[in-house]
């Protein structure tokens, strides 16, 4: 992960700032493991294009779309 277009990693202070900003906005950052069949399901359900299955950002966006669709707005 790089910051501000640099090739150097985030400093601990920058990571903490990003973490606090996310928390203030009600967001949580989690890491998950996906089996290939789960990636296949994202493709089958239309959240991910087959040619982008190995693109981490595309998979992350597909998971976000799936969660938003599955959980929807709170009633």
pLDDT tens for each residue of 52-74: 999 999 999 999 999 999 998 76
pLDDT tens for each residue of 1-42: 444 555 677 899 999 999 999 999 999 888 999 999 999 999
Q: What is the pLDDT of residue 43?
A: 98
Supply the pTM of this predicted model. 0.71
Q: What is the pLDDT of residue 10?
A: 85
Burial of 12 (0-12, 13-18, 19+ CB in 10 A): exposed
Q: Which long-range contacts (CB under 8 A, 24 or more apart) does 65-74 make?
A: 66/42
Q: What is the pLDDT of residue 13?
A: 94
What is the residue extent of each domain of the chain?
1-30, 32-75
Q: Quickly count: other Cβ atoms within 10 Å of residue 59's Cβ.
A: 18
């Amino acid at each position: 992960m790089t910051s501000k277009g640099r090739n150097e990693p985030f400093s601990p202070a920058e990571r903490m700032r990003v973490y606090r900003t996310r928390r203030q906005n009600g967001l949580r950052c989690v890491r998950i493991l996906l089996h290939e069949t789960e990636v296949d399901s994202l493709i089958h359900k239309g959240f991910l294009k087959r040619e982008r299955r190995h693109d981490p950002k595309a998979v992350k966006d597909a998971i976000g779309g799936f969660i938003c669709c599955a959980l929807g707005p709170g009633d």
